[in-house]
Amino acid sequence: MTDVIAYIDGFNLYNGLKSKYRHRYLWLDLEALCTKLLVKDQELRAVKYFTAPVRRQPQPLRRQQKFWSALDIHCNCVSIERGRFQEKTMTCRNCSSRWITHEEKETDVAIAVALVEDAVNRAFDTAMIVSADSDLCLAIRAVRRIHPAAKIVAAFPPARRSDDLRNESDASFTIAERKLSQSLLSKVVHGPDGKQFPRSAKWQ
């Protein structure tokens, strides 16, 4: 058996799912999904899920935190690696009006650092990257130098693709809807302390 670690770019996956399927597959069992993406003689060792708490949006934040709690309870090999959002002032070129938006920071760097660190420690035989962010190509090249025997697989979220990432990988594919539909969390996730985490109504 060969060991696989999955590195999930949380917002890349979220935006791809929402763009293609709206809210249908957001209540996703990440461990089950990554297991279904394996091929023969591979074993899932860990899932590293990189994301960040939503800012200044109370309802989306509650849905997100409920999802994180469900993952913590249900998925034994999923770790949630939290980044941050940073405020950014935007200016309209035509009318010069200004507004505040939020930009996710550190996720691609955090994935790259984890990928290279695990390669140094020979923690995986195959790294599965669930993202279509071409910024990760530099990290993949570093892994090639550090751990030449390792395989890199790019699993593109729905409605997402990167030719650069595909060219740097040993294999690549777009995650099929069938795999998503087979990998949903139960409608209510029950914690060991009796707490319940139901799927949000908006994510039905």
- Cα-based torsion angle of the residue sequence 23, 25, 31, 33 in order, rounded to the nearest 10 degrees: -150
- Give the residues across from 42 on adjacent strands: 2
What domains sit in the chain, N to C, each tagged with a CATH number? 2-192 (3.40.50.1010)
Q: Are 160 and 154 in contact (CB under 8 A)?
A: no
Q: How many CA atoms lie within 13 A of 24 on its CB side?
A: 13
pTM of the model: 0.90
Nearest CA-CA partner of 70 in 60, 59, 78: 78
CA atoms of 53 and 36, how far apart (whole Å): 27
The single-letter code of the amino acid at 194 is: G
Q: Could you give the CA distance from residue 115 to residue 123 in angstroms, rounded to a whole number?
A: 9
Query: How far does Cα 107 stand from its chain's mean position?
Result: 10
The helix/strand/coil state of 62 is helix
Q: How many CB atoms lie within 10 A of CB 82?
A: 14
DSSP code at position 54:
-
Residue-level pLDDT, tens digit, the chain, 204 residues: 999 999 999 999 999 999 999 999 999 999 999 999 999 999 999 999 999 988 778 899 999 999 999 999 999 999 999 875 555 455 666 776 764 454 555 788 999 999 999 999 999 999 999 999 999 999 999 999 999 999 999 999 999 999 999 999 999 999 999 999 999 999 999 998 899 999 999 898
